[in-house]
């Protein structure tokens, strides 16, 4: 179980303390009492102060590698519900493990010894907040390309194992957005497929793999980001689908995952005016949380908002005249169980005062928060109390032995090979002609390195644009002039800017071979290209596998997981 002795004996110590206390007395051991789940929850709810109850709905980030003074204050004084690990917290995995151990020690030293949710975004592939030596996976869309639930299960299992070794007990994954709108850049390769059933099956298998490691899976972005045209990090996406479209497409994975027992969902900042009847984001909407998710779909787990310091939330606040504190309150009024804040608020700032005052003064809101905290405690008792839990005090000294997981590398390399997809095969296998001048052009160093290993005589052109969204006229001109000195260009297609650059060769005499990485959606702009393949990750395994397929060393069997000819009508 990779637990240090202190972690093994903590529940026993607390239980002995409870046994020594007067009958009926509440002690620091309340959470760890050897009683029925609902009885422990009843004891906790009766003993906790109003401030302690309200604090459980907060899931907060901190800005430094080691725990900040502010996050420690929130834990010591309020025993908040959880913390969120972002990329800036995880530059050094040994430091991260030590920090998580410190945070959990602080939490279990508070009045009722309730441990923290330690959450992160470790989807695999493109989104990997905990980096360092954690596995670089081919990603969700590669899972869609193989279509094998066992691949999804193993991916969830290995990601879960690495998070477990660090003491991270909650993962905001799987991403089960159904990839409908191929212009939805922010989802792209984070999706499994454009097919709702395949997304549901692979998402469920991914969940089961993480469940095996006792990591709390949190499916997202409810009710579905896959038909959005905007990025909710910057603005509020408005999706004009009706209820039937959402129910029979976007909600299919959630309907299956709820039946499978998924413990948590994360709600997106997404507006569906034809479903809810107004423009309120789903993350702040009582229709989506209470009417649809709870009443109609029967979900009994916990619902967490996406990060509230996002552009979509601020935009809605400006449009409705609400302060940020009022938006946080609205998320809870709507039926969210926890609010996620990437920045640590001041202990008694307006966010806290607004929510705490509402709890003290409004009986209906108090009942709603009490119900949310009961769900939070129930999840913690099921996942953070049993002996097979994710360690509360991960050992920094053992991180190197467990991250990456010893068996992960061979699995993810094999998966990268299985997922390569040929979409146009005119020159596959590519056997350079006599004196053929080949140029490798791409944004990523690993692409150029792996390409050079396969085609040693090829020249390099490192693509560089200030943004991935567009290439300037000057950048396009410079690339075309460079490319026209060669017979063949093997081009790494990865984003809208690279689409613009590659299209510069449409009317030239240069033969263009496309090597798509991440989302293959950009291939739809190149029906005139005769040789193209897709990989879905951006690690060396994916590049190596793609070049092996291009040269004929690998018989590629992946199936394109999206329909390039059927993007949603907006």
Instruction: Please list the active-site residues.
Output: 233, 306
**CA separation (Å) from 219 to 97, 191, 268, 348, 401?**
24, 12, 11, 32, 29
CA distance 289 to 267: 9
444: part of which helix (H) or strand (E)? none
Question: For 167, left (φ over 0), alpha (ψ -120 to 50), or beta?
Answer: left
Cα–chain center distance at 491: 29
Spatial neighbors of 215 by CB under 8 A, at least 6 apart, are 160, 163, 164, 168, 169, 170, 171, 390
Separation between Cα atoms, residue 404 and residue 410, nearest integer Å: 11
Q: How many CB atoms lie under 10 A from the CB of residue 277?
A: 10
519 close to 141: Cβ distance less than 8 angstroms? yes
> Which DSSP category does 68 fall into?
P
Tokens of 533: 């393949």
- The beta-strand segments (E) located in 319-443 are 339-341, 421-425, 438-442
Q: DSSP string of 387-403?
A: TTSPPSS--GGGHHHHS
Instruction: Say how many CA atoms lie within 13 Å of 469 toward its Cβ.
Output: 6
DSSP letters along 223-242, please?
Answer: T--TT-SS-TTTS--B----
Q: Which residues contact 192 (CB under 8 A, 6 or more apart)?
A: 140, 141, 143, 144, 152, 174, 175, 176, 179, 198, 199, 202, 203, 561
């Amino acid at each position: 179980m990779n637990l240090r002795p202190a972690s093994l004996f903590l529940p026993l110590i607390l239980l002995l303390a409870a046994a020594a206390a007067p009958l009926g007395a509440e002690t620091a051991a309340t959470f760890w009492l050897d009683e029925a789940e609902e009885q422990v929850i009843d004891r906790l709810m009766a003993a906790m102060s109003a401030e302690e109850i309200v604090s459980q709905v907060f899931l907060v980030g901190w800005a430094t590698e080691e725990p900040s003074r502010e996050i420690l204050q929130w834990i010591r004084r309020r025993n908040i519900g959880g913390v969120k690990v972002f990329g800036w917290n995880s530059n050094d995995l040994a430091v991260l493990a030590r920090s998580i151990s410190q945070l959990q020690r602080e939490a279990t030293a508070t009045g009722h010894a309730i441990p923290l949710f330690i959450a992160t975004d470790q989807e695999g592939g493109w989104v990997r907040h905990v980096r360092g030596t954690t596995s670089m996976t081919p990603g969700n869309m590669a899972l869609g390309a193989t279509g094998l639930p066992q691949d999804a299960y193993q991916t969830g299992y290995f990601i879960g194992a690495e998070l477990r070794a660090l003491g991270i007990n909650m993962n905001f994954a799987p991403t089960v957005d159904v990839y409908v709108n191929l212009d939805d850049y922010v989802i792209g390769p984070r999706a499994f497929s454009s097919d709702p059933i395949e997304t549901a099956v692979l998402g469920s298998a991914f969940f089961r793999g993480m469940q095996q490691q006792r990591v709390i899976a949190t499916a997202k972005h409810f009710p579905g980001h896959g038909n959005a045209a905007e990025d909710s990090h910057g603005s509020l996406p408005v999706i004009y689908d009706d209820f039937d479209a959402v129910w029979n497409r976007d909600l299919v994975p959630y309907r299956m995952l709820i039946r499978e027992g998924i413990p948590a969902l994360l709600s997106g900042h997404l507006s569906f005016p034809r479903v809810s009847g107004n423009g309120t984001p789903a993350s702040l909407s009582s229709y989506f949380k209470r009417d649809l998710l709870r009443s109609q779909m029967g979900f009994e787990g916990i619902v967490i908002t996406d990060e509230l310091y996002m552009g979509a939330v601020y935009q809605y606040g400006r449009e409705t005249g609400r302060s940020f504190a009022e938006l946080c309150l609205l998320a809870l009024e709507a039926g969210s169980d926890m609010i996620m804040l990437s920045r640590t608020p001041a202990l008694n700032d307006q966010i806290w005062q607004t929510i705490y005052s509402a709890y003290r003064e409004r009986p209906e809101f108090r009942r709603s928060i009490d119900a949310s905290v009961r769900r939070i405690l129930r999840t913690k008792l099921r996942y953070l109390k049993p002996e097979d839990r994710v360690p509360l005090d991960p050992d920094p000294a053992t991180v190197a032995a467990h991250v990456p997981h010893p068996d992960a590398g061979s699995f993810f390399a094999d998966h990268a090979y299985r997922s390569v997809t040929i979409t146009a095969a005119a020159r596959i296998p590519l056997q350079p002609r006599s004196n053929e001048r080949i140029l490798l052009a791409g944004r990523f160093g690993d692409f150029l390195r792996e390409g050079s290993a396969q085609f040693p005589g090829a020249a390099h052109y490192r693509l560089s644009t200030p943004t991935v969204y567009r290439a300037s006229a000057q950048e396009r001109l410079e690339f075309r002039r460079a490319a026209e000195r060669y017979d063949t260009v093997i081009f790494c297609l990865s984003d809208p800017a690279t689409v613009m650059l590659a299209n510069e060769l449409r009317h030239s005499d240069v033969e263009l071979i496309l090597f798509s990485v991440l989302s293959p959606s950009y291939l739809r702009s190149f029906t005139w290209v005769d040789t193209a393949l897709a990989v879905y990750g951006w690690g060396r395994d994916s590049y190596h596998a793609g070049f092996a397929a291009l040269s004929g060393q690998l018989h590629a069997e992946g199936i394109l997981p999206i329909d390039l000819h059927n993007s949603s009508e907006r």
